Chains A and B, each alone.
Chain A
Amino acid sequence: MSRAADQIRPWHQANWDARAAANFIGGGSGSGLLIAGAIAHAAGAPYRALALTALALIAVGLTCVALEIGRPWRALNVFFHPQTSWMTRESLVAVPLFAAGAAALWQDGGAYAWAAAALAAAFLWCQAQILRAAKGIPAWRAPRVVPLILSTGLVEGAGLLAMACALPSSAHALARPVSAALVALLVLRAVVWQMYRARLEAPKRALVALDRAAPLFHRVGNWVAAPLAAIAVLLAPDAVAAPLGAVAGAIAVAAGWQVKFVLVTRAGFNQGFALPHLPVRGSGTPGPSAKPGW
C-alpha cells in the first residue's frame, strides 16, 4: 500500500492506549462488583473485601487515565463540562461513588452499599456513553456499544463475586445463586455481542481486529463459561459448586477484559476519508463515490 493510500484509509487512533483500556476494564469490573456486592451482602455475604476490591479496581482505572492525559496538573478541569461531556459526568459520579464506597466500607454495608451500587451503575453508564460519543471511531460510536459495555461490566461483577464465593471463609452458600446469575448475564452478554458485531459498520481492519478476538471472547468467554457456571448451579456436588463457579467467573472476567482491551487498542480505527462524488477533471464527468478502507 502506498503512502498516499495509507493517508486516506482509516488508521488506528493513537490517542488512547492500554491506559484508557485499563479505565474501561477497571471501571467496568469495579462497578459490576459494587453492584453484585451490594446484592450479595443483602443475601448475607461479607461486604468489605468485595467493596474494597471494587473501589481499588475503579481507582486503578482512573489512575491509568490520569497517567495518559497530557497535562495531569490541570486534571480538575475535567469537571467543567457536565452539560454534554460524558467524561465530565463520569468524573462527577466518581466523587460521590468513592465517598459512598468509603462510607459503606466504614459501616460494613447498609444503606451506603446501595448508594455505592447505584452510583456504580451510573459510573458504568457514563463509561459506555464515553465510547458511544467518540464519533470519530466507528467501532466505538455504534449504539450497541452501550449494552456491550454495560453487560461486560455486570458479567465481570458477577464473575468476581463467583470467584470470591470460592475463597475460604466466604459465603459458600451463595455460590449456586451467584453462578445462576452469572449464567443469565453471560447469555445476555453473548446476545449483546452478537447484535453489536452483526450491526457494526466499521472499517475492514476494525472488523478484522474484533473477529480475531471473537473466538476467545465469545466462544470461550461466553459459551464455555456459561455451561461451566450452569453445571455449578445444577449438577455439581456442594464441594465442587463454588470452585467450578469460580473458574467460570474467572473465564468470564478475563474475556470481558480482553474484549475491552481489543475494542480500545486494536479496533479503534478512525473514520478515514470519503468522497460521495469524485470531481470532474477537464471535460469529463463526476466519478463514483470512494470510501477507502471500508
Chain B
Amino acid sequence: MRPILFILQKEFLQIFRNKAMLPIIFVLPIIQLLVLSFAATFEVKNTPMSLIDEDGSTTARLLVERFEASGYFSVVHRSIDSAEADEAMQRGDARIILHIPIDFERDLRQTGAAPVQLILDAEDGATAGVVQAYAGRIIATFNRDIQVDFGVPEPDAQPIIDVIISHWYNPELKYQYYMVPGILVLLVTMIGTFLSAMNVVREKEIGTIEQLNVTPMRKGHFIIGKLLPLWILSLVELAAGIVVARVVFHVPFLGNLWLVFGLAGLYLVGMLGLGLWISTITDTQQQAMFIAWFIMVVFILMSGLFTPIESMPLWAQKLTLLNPIAYFIEIMRRVLLKGAGFSAVQEQFWALVAFAVILVTLAVRQYRKVSA
C-alpha cells in the first residue's frame, strides 16, 4: 500500500504545484459550462425580416403586426421592390422576406383566399425549418381570428377534437435543462481523458519514466497511483458543475445524486483507462493529444448531445452502441431530468462496466516497465 500513497502524493503535488494548469483544470470548465449552456439553443428569436407590402391595406398591416408582436420576427427593412429585399437577404441583413402582393385584401374578401409569399434564407436548413414553423403558426392563428371581421358565420356545432397538451419533465420547454447535463458530461470527460492521455507520455517524453521504472513499485500500484488523482479530480469537477447547474440554471434534478456519482465513478474508470491506453501507445504528448482529440470528437458528435440519436440513420445508431459518452449522457438525462432509478439505466450500467473492464485491461497489458 505504501508505494501507492507515495505516488499519490507525488501526483497531487504535481497537479497543485503547476500554477498554469490549475485554472485550466478548475476554472475553464465552469466558465465553459456557463457560456455553452446559454449558447446552445435552437430557439430562434427576432429573425430579421424584410417586408414587401404592395397592398398596404388594413388587413395586411394587421398581419405584419402579428408577426412583430410574436417576438420571433422583427421587420428591419421595408420596400416595395423585391430586388431590394433580395439584396438585403444576400447581404445577410434579412433572413426572411414577407411579400404581401397587391390586392391582398380584395382577394381575401372576394375569393376567400389570398396568397402571401414567404422567402426564407435556408443557408442554415435547421433554423429555416424552425422559422417556417413559427411563421406557419402565426398565419394559422391569424386565419382563425379574422373570420369574424370578414363576416363569416360561426360554424354550427362542428365536432371538435380538443387537444390537451402536457410537456413532462420540462413544461416550459427550456433548452438549457436538456443541454446542461450533457455539457457537464463533456467537460468532465475531456478533463479526465486528456489529462490521463498526457500523463504517462509526458513522463516518457521528459525521461522521468525511467526513474519510475527503476523504483520497486509494482505495475498495478503505478497505474492506480496515476489514475486515482485524476479520478478524484474529475468527480470534484462534476460536483462543482452540478452545483452550478442547480444554482445558475435551476435545472430541476429529480433523480438520486448518489446514483449519478456512482455511475460517474464507473464511467470515469473507463475513460481514464482510455486516456492511459492512448498514452501507452504513443511517444509524444503531441501524438497522444491528437489521438485523444480525434476519438473525442467522433464520440461527441455521435453521442446525441447536439443532435438526437433517433434522427440518425440506422447504421449510425448501431455505431453509437460503441460510444461510452452516449451511454453516460443518456444516464445523466434520464436520472437527473426524468428521475429514473437504477432499473431504468441498467442497460447503460452494464455497458459502462464492459467499457471500464476492456479499456483498463487494454491499458494495463500495454504498459511495460521496460522500454523497448
A, B co-complexed = no
B residues lining the A interface (CB < 8 Å):
none
